[in-house]
Protein backbone atom coordinates (compact mmCIF):
# COMPACT_ATOMS: atom_id res chain seq x y z
CA UNK A 1 0.00 0.00 0.00
CA UNK A 2 1.24 3.52 -0.82
CA UNK A 3 1.79 5.54 2.36
CA UNK A 4 0.36 9.02 2.82
CA UNK A 5 1.84 9.64 6.27
CA UNK A 6 4.50 8.17 8.52
CA UNK A 7 1.90 6.95 11.00
CA UNK A 8 2.28 3.14 11.11
CA UNK A 9 4.43 3.27 7.96
CA UNK A 10 6.83 0.68 9.45
CA UNK A 11 4.11 -1.50 10.95
CA UNK A 12 4.05 -5.21 10.07
CA UNK A 13 0.91 -5.85 12.11
CA UNK A 14 -0.87 -8.98 10.95
CA UNK A 15 1.69 -9.75 8.22
CA UNK A 16 2.97 -13.32 7.94
CA UNK A 17 6.71 -13.68 7.42
CA UNK A 18 9.05 -16.59 6.71
CA UNK A 19 12.59 -15.96 7.95
CA UNK A 20 15.16 -18.61 7.02
CA UNK A 21 17.85 -18.88 9.68
CA UNK A 22 15.64 -16.75 11.95
CA UNK A 23 16.91 -18.68 14.98
CA UNK A 24 20.47 -17.29 15.13
CA UNK A 25 22.67 -14.26 14.45
CA UNK A 26 21.37 -11.76 11.90
CA UNK A 27 18.24 -13.85 11.32
CA UNK A 28 17.44 -13.69 15.03
CA UNK A 29 17.80 -9.88 14.86
CA UNK A 30 15.31 -9.86 11.99
CA UNK A 31 12.91 -12.14 13.90
CA UNK A 32 13.06 -9.80 16.89
CA UNK A 33 12.53 -6.65 14.80
CA UNK A 34 9.60 -8.18 12.90
CA UNK A 35 7.95 -9.47 16.09
CA UNK A 36 8.28 -6.02 17.68
CA UNK A 37 6.55 -4.52 14.63
CA UNK A 38 3.63 -6.96 14.90
CA UNK A 39 4.45 -9.68 12.34
CA UNK A 40 3.64 -13.37 12.70
CA UNK A 41 6.75 -15.40 11.97
CA UNK A 42 7.65 -18.82 10.57
CA UNK A 43 11.28 -19.45 11.50
CA UNK A 44 12.96 -22.05 9.28
CA UNK A 45 16.36 -23.63 9.94
CA UNK A 46 18.03 -26.96 10.74
CA UNK A 47 18.64 -26.56 14.48
CA UNK A 48 15.33 -27.32 16.20
CA UNK A 49 16.47 -26.51 19.75
CA UNK A 50 17.50 -22.88 19.09
CA UNK A 51 14.49 -22.50 16.79
CA UNK A 52 12.06 -23.56 19.51
CA UNK A 53 13.85 -21.38 22.08
CA UNK A 54 13.35 -18.30 19.89
CA UNK A 55 9.70 -19.23 19.26
CA UNK A 56 9.14 -19.53 23.05
CA UNK A 57 10.88 -16.19 23.69
CA UNK A 58 8.82 -14.35 21.06
CA UNK A 59 5.59 -15.99 22.21
CA UNK A 60 6.27 -14.90 25.78
CA UNK A 61 7.15 -11.28 24.90
CA UNK A 62 5.04 -10.36 21.87
CA UNK A 63 1.47 -10.91 20.73
CA UNK A 64 1.85 -12.70 17.40
CA UNK A 65 1.95 -16.28 16.14
CA UNK A 66 5.42 -17.82 15.94
CA UNK A 67 6.27 -21.32 14.71
CA UNK A 68 9.46 -23.21 13.93
CA UNK A 69 9.94 -25.43 10.86
CA UNK A 70 12.90 -27.72 10.37
CA UNK A 71 14.46 -26.92 7.00
CA UNK A 72 17.67 -27.54 5.11
CA UNK A 73 17.71 -25.00 2.26
CA UNK A 74 20.01 -27.23 0.21
CA UNK A 75 17.03 -29.56 -0.46
CA UNK A 76 14.32 -28.51 -2.94
CA UNK A 77 11.91 -31.06 -1.44
CA UNK A 78 12.58 -29.76 2.08
CA UNK A 79 11.90 -26.17 0.97
CA UNK A 80 8.64 -27.20 -0.74
CA UNK A 81 7.40 -29.11 2.30
CA UNK A 82 8.31 -26.39 4.82
CA UNK A 83 6.67 -23.66 2.72
CA UNK A 84 3.50 -25.74 2.23
CA UNK A 85 3.29 -26.39 5.98
CA UNK A 86 3.73 -22.69 6.78
CA UNK A 87 1.04 -21.70 4.26
CA UNK A 88 -1.25 -24.27 5.90
CA UNK A 89 -0.58 -22.86 9.38
CA UNK A 90 -0.63 -19.13 8.55
CA UNK A 91 -3.08 -19.02 5.61
CA UNK A 92 -0.74 -16.98 3.44
CA UNK A 93 2.79 -15.59 3.40
CA UNK A 94 3.34 -11.85 2.89
CA UNK A 95 7.09 -11.63 3.49
CA UNK A 96 10.02 -13.94 2.74
CA UNK A 97 13.46 -13.21 4.19
CA UNK A 98 16.19 -15.32 2.59
CA UNK A 99 18.75 -15.02 5.36
CA UNK A 100 20.11 -18.55 5.99
CA UNK A 101 23.68 -18.93 4.81
CA UNK A 102 27.25 -19.90 5.49
CA UNK A 103 30.42 -17.81 5.24
CA UNK A 104 33.26 -20.02 4.07
CA UNK A 105 36.75 -18.64 3.49
CA UNK A 106 39.66 -20.26 1.61
CA UNK A 107 41.52 -20.36 -1.66
CA UNK A 108 39.78 -21.81 -4.71
CA UNK A 109 42.99 -23.50 -5.91
CA UNK A 110 43.40 -25.28 -2.57
CA UNK A 111 39.98 -26.95 -2.77
CA UNK A 112 39.69 -30.69 -3.48
CA UNK A 113 39.38 -31.79 -7.10
CA UNK A 114 35.58 -31.97 -6.89
CA UNK A 115 35.63 -28.36 -5.63
CA UNK A 116 33.26 -29.49 -2.87
CA UNK A 117 33.57 -26.25 -0.89
CA UNK A 118 32.82 -24.12 -3.95
CA UNK A 119 29.64 -25.98 -4.86
CA UNK A 120 28.47 -26.16 -1.24
CA UNK A 121 28.77 -22.40 -0.86
CA UNK A 122 26.90 -21.67 -4.10
CA UNK A 123 24.27 -24.28 -3.25
CA UNK A 124 23.48 -22.80 0.16
CA UNK A 125 24.20 -19.08 -0.17
CA UNK A 126 22.71 -18.63 -3.65
CA UNK A 127 20.54 -21.62 -4.52
CA UNK A 128 18.96 -21.81 -1.06
CA UNK A 129 17.45 -18.37 -1.64
CA UNK A 130 16.50 -19.34 -5.21
CA UNK A 131 14.65 -22.46 -4.01
CA UNK A 132 12.73 -20.56 -1.33
CA UNK A 133 11.88 -17.73 -3.74
CA UNK A 134 10.54 -20.28 -6.24
CA UNK A 135 8.11 -21.83 -3.74
CA UNK A 136 7.08 -18.70 -1.83
CA UNK A 137 7.06 -16.50 -4.97
CA UNK A 138 4.60 -18.88 -6.70
CA UNK A 139 2.35 -18.79 -3.64
CA UNK A 140 2.49 -14.96 -3.46
CA UNK A 141 1.72 -14.66 -7.18
CA UNK A 142 -1.22 -17.09 -7.03
CA UNK A 143 -2.61 -15.71 -3.75
CA UNK A 144 -2.80 -12.33 -5.48
CA UNK A 145 -2.03 -9.96 -2.61
CA UNK A 146 1.54 -9.05 -3.54
CA UNK A 147 4.46 -9.61 -1.21
CA UNK A 148 7.96 -8.70 -0.13
CA UNK A 149 11.10 -10.77 -0.67
CA UNK A 150 14.26 -9.68 1.12
CA UNK A 151 17.57 -11.34 0.35
CA UNK A 152 20.37 -11.08 2.90
CA UNK A 153 23.41 -10.62 0.70
CA UNK A 154 26.76 -9.17 1.85
CA UNK A 155 29.09 -6.29 1.05
CA UNK A 156 31.36 -9.16 -0.10
CA UNK A 157 29.06 -9.35 -3.12
CA UNK A 158 30.32 -5.90 -4.11
CA UNK A 159 33.97 -5.77 -3.00
CA UNK A 160 36.69 -8.32 -2.21
CA UNK A 161 38.91 -8.19 0.85
CA UNK A 162 42.71 -7.98 0.52
CA UNK A 163 43.19 -10.02 3.67
CA UNK A 164 40.65 -12.86 3.46
CA UNK A 165 40.14 -14.97 0.34
CA UNK A 166 36.52 -15.95 -0.09
CA UNK A 167 35.86 -16.03 -3.84
CA UNK A 168 33.06 -18.60 -3.56
CA UNK A 169 31.16 -16.50 -1.01
CA UNK A 170 31.74 -13.26 -2.98
CA UNK A 171 30.48 -14.99 -6.14
CA UNK A 172 27.37 -16.37 -4.43
CA UNK A 173 26.47 -12.96 -2.96
CA UNK A 174 27.19 -11.04 -6.20
CA UNK A 175 24.89 -13.50 -8.00
CA UNK A 176 22.30 -13.04 -5.28
CA UNK A 177 22.34 -9.29 -5.97
CA UNK A 178 21.61 -9.90 -9.66
CA UNK A 179 19.00 -12.53 -8.77
CA UNK A 180 17.34 -9.82 -6.65
CA UNK A 181 17.22 -7.41 -9.59
CA UNK A 182 16.04 -10.07 -12.08
CA UNK A 183 13.25 -11.25 -9.77
CA UNK A 184 12.29 -7.65 -9.00
CA UNK A 185 11.61 -7.17 -12.73
CA UNK A 186 9.80 -10.51 -13.05
CA UNK A 187 7.54 -10.06 -10.04
CA UNK A 188 6.77 -6.31 -9.98
CA UNK A 189 3.55 -6.77 -11.97
CA UNK A 190 2.24 -9.08 -9.23
CA UNK A 191 2.89 -6.44 -6.54
CA UNK A 192 5.82 -8.46 -5.22
CA UNK A 193 8.85 -6.30 -4.32
CA UNK A 194 12.28 -7.93 -4.18
CA UNK A 195 15.20 -6.18 -2.47
CA UNK A 196 18.50 -7.15 -0.86
CA UNK A 197 20.46 -6.05 2.16
CA UNK A 198 24.26 -6.20 2.00
CA UNK A 199 25.59 -6.20 5.57
CA UNK A 200 29.21 -5.80 6.49
CA UNK A 201 30.73 -7.50 9.54
CA UNK A 202 27.92 -8.07 12.02
CA UNK A 203 28.03 -9.91 15.36
CA UNK A 204 26.82 -13.49 14.76
CA UNK A 205 28.00 -17.09 14.86
CA UNK A 206 29.97 -16.42 11.67
CA UNK A 207 32.36 -14.27 13.74
CA UNK A 208 32.25 -16.39 16.91
CA UNK A 209 35.61 -18.05 16.27
CA UNK A 210 37.47 -14.83 15.54
CA UNK A 211 40.01 -14.03 18.27
CA UNK A 212 39.67 -10.69 20.13
CA UNK A 213 42.81 -9.18 18.60
CA UNK A 214 41.47 -9.92 15.11
CA UNK A 215 38.12 -8.37 16.00
CA UNK A 216 39.88 -5.25 17.29
CA UNK A 217 41.89 -5.01 14.05
CA UNK A 218 38.69 -5.43 12.08
CA UNK A 219 36.97 -2.59 13.93
CA UNK A 220 39.87 -0.27 13.10
CA UNK A 221 39.38 -0.98 9.40
CA UNK A 222 35.72 0.08 9.52
CA UNK A 223 35.14 3.85 9.18
CA UNK A 224 32.48 4.00 11.95
CA UNK A 225 34.83 1.98 14.21
CA UNK A 226 32.49 -0.85 15.14
CA UNK A 227 30.73 -3.97 13.88
CA UNK A 228 27.03 -4.11 13.11
CA UNK A 229 24.39 -5.55 15.43
CA UNK A 230 21.80 -8.07 14.16
CA UNK A 231 18.93 -5.81 15.25
CA UNK A 232 20.26 -3.09 12.92
CA UNK A 233 19.86 -5.47 9.99
CA UNK A 234 16.39 -6.21 11.43
CA UNK A 235 15.58 -2.49 11.31
CA UNK A 236 16.48 -2.24 7.62
CA UNK A 237 14.61 -5.46 6.85
CA UNK A 238 11.57 -3.97 8.62
CA UNK A 239 11.73 -0.96 6.30
CA UNK A 240 11.90 -3.25 3.25
CA UNK A 241 9.05 -5.43 4.54
CA UNK A 242 6.80 -2.48 5.35
CA UNK A 243 4.67 -0.10 3.28
CA UNK A 244 7.33 2.60 3.78
CA UNK A 245 9.37 0.98 0.98
CA UNK A 246 6.46 0.38 -1.43
CA UNK A 247 8.21 2.24 -4.26
CA UNK A 248 11.47 0.31 -3.85
CA UNK A 249 12.31 -2.85 -5.76
CA UNK A 250 15.55 -4.35 -7.09
CA UNK A 251 17.64 -2.37 -4.61
CA UNK A 252 20.73 -3.70 -2.85
CA UNK A 253 21.18 -1.67 0.35
CA UNK A 254 24.63 -1.75 1.94
CA UNK A 255 24.82 -1.48 5.73
CA UNK A 256 28.44 -1.90 6.79
CA UNK A 257 29.61 1.17 8.72
CA UNK A 258 31.32 2.36 5.55
CA UNK A 259 33.60 -0.71 5.41
CA UNK A 260 33.26 -1.26 1.66
CA UNK A 261 34.36 2.36 1.07
CA UNK A 262 37.72 1.67 2.65
CA UNK A 263 38.55 -2.05 2.21
N1 LIG B 1 27.69 -11.83 10.17
C2 LIG B 1 28.21 -11.15 9.19
O3 LIG B 1 29.24 -10.46 9.39
C4 LIG B 1 27.55 -11.15 7.84
C5 LIG B 1 27.96 -10.18 6.91
C6 LIG B 1 27.34 -10.13 5.67
C7 LIG B 1 26.32 -11.04 5.35
N8 LIG B 1 25.98 -11.99 6.26
C9 LIG B 1 24.89 -12.92 5.86
O10 LIG B 1 23.90 -12.96 6.85
C11 LIG B 1 23.22 -14.20 6.81
C12 LIG B 1 23.11 -14.77 8.22
O13 LIG B 1 24.41 -15.07 8.70
P14 LIG B 1 24.86 -14.84 10.22
O15 LIG B 1 26.00 -13.94 10.19
O16 LIG B 1 23.69 -14.51 11.06
O17 LIG B 1 25.42 -16.31 10.54
P18 LIG B 1 24.98 -17.40 11.61
O19 LIG B 1 24.85 -16.78 12.95
O20 LIG B 1 25.94 -18.52 11.41
O21 LIG B 1 23.54 -17.83 11.13
C22 LIG B 1 23.36 -18.57 9.95
C23 LIG B 1 21.90 -19.02 9.89
O24 LIG B 1 21.69 -19.76 8.70
C25 LIG B 1 21.06 -21.01 9.03
N26 LIG B 1 21.51 -22.01 8.07
C27 LIG B 1 22.81 -22.27 7.67
N28 LIG B 1 22.80 -23.26 6.77
C29 LIG B 1 21.51 -23.64 6.59
C30 LIG B 1 20.86 -24.63 5.80
N31 LIG B 1 21.56 -25.47 4.99
N32 LIG B 1 19.51 -24.74 5.86
C33 LIG B 1 18.80 -23.92 6.67
N34 LIG B 1 19.35 -22.98 7.44
C35 LIG B 1 20.68 -22.84 7.41
C36 LIG B 1 21.54 -21.31 10.46
O37 LIG B 1 20.59 -22.09 11.18
P38 LIG B 1 20.83 -23.66 11.50
O39 LIG B 1 22.27 -23.83 11.86
O40 LIG B 1 19.89 -23.93 12.62
O41 LIG B 1 20.43 -24.36 10.26
C42 LIG B 1 21.55 -19.91 11.06
O43 LIG B 1 20.29 -19.55 11.52
C44 LIG B 1 24.02 -15.09 5.85
O45 LIG B 1 23.36 -15.13 4.60
C46 LIG B 1 25.35 -14.38 5.73
O47 LIG B 1 25.99 -14.60 4.51
C48 LIG B 1 26.56 -12.06 7.48
Percent of the chain with pLDDT over 90: 92
List pLDDT tens digits, range 138-170.
Answer: 999 999 999 999 999 999 999 998 888 999 999
- Percent of the residues in the chain that have a pLDDT greater than 70, as a whole number: 100
What pLDDT, in 10s, does the model give residues 180-205? 999 999 999 999 999 999 999 999 98
Which of 18, 19, 20, 21, when mutated, tests ligand 1's pocket best, judged by the most ligand atoms within 8 Å of its CB? 21
Q: Transcribe 71-94 into DSSP letters.
A: --TT-HHHHHHHHHHHHHHHS---
Pocket of ligand 1 (CB under 6 A): 20-21, 23-27, 45-47, 71-74, 99-103, 124, 152, 154, 199, 201-202, 204-207
Which helix H or strand E contains 132, and what residues bound it? helix 127-143
Residue 101 Cα to ligand 1 middle (Å)? 4
pLDDT for position 209: 81
Handedness of CA 222, 226, 230, 234 (dihedral sign): negative
Q: Annotated catalytic, 62? A: no
Among the residues of 37-126, which ranges form H helices? 48-61, 76-90, 116-121
Residues 248 and 240: beta-carbon distance below 8 Å = yes
Q: What number does the ligand 1 atom closest to the CA of 47 have?
A: 40
User: What average pLDDT does the segment 78-89 reach?
Assistant: 98
Distance from the CA of 204 to the center of ligand 1, in angstroms?
A: 8
Residue 105 Cα distances to 36, 62, 163, angstroms: 34, 38, 11
Q: Kindly give the number of the ligand 1 atom that is closest to the alpha carbon of 152.
A: 45
- Is the CA virtual torsion 182, 185, 191, 194 positive or negative? positive
Atom of ligand 1 lying closest to residue 201 CA = 3
The average pLDDT across 215-238 equals 96
Q: Is the pLDDT of residue 172 over 80?
A: yes
Catalytic residue among 62, 66, 69, 169: 169
Closest CA to 42 of 68, 14, 71: 68
Smallest CA separation from ligand 1 atom 7, residue = 154
- Average the pLDDT over 27-54 and give the result: 98
- Which pLDDT score is estimated for 115? 98
Query: Quick one: pLDDT at residue 206?
Result: 82
Q: What is the pLDDT of residue 8?
A: 95
Query: Is the pLDDT assigned to residue 263 strictly greater than 80?
Result: no
Which atom belonging to ligand 1 lies closest to the Cα atom of 27? 16
pLDDT of residue 17: 99
In the reported structure, the alpha carbon of residue 21 is separated from the centroid of ligand 1 by a whole-number distance in angstroms of: 6
Q: What DSSP state is assigned to residue 103?
A: -
Three-class secondary structure of residue 235 per DSSP? helix
Write down the pLDDT at residue 245.
98
Mutating to test ligand 1, I would choose from 45, 155, 201, 219 the residue with most ligand atoms within 8 A of its C-beta, which is 45
Structural domains of the chain sorted by starting position, each given as residue range(s) with its CATH number in brackets: 16-261 (3.40.50.720)
Q: Tell me the average pLDDT across 45-61.
A: 98
pTM of the model: 0.98
When the pLDDT of each residue in the chain is averaged and rounded to a whole number, the result is 97
Q: Whose CA is nearest to atom 17 of ligand 1?
A: 206
| pLDDT recorded at residue 211 | 86
- Give the closest residue (by CA) to ligand 1 atom 40: 47
Amino acid sequence: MVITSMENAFSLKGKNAIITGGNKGIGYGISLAFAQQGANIAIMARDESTGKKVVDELTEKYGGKYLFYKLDISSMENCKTAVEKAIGDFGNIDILVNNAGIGPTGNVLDMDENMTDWFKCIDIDLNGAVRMTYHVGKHMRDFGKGGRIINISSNAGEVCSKSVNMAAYCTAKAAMNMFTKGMACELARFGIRVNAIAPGFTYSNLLADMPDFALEGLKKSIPVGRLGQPIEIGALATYLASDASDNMTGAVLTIDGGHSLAI
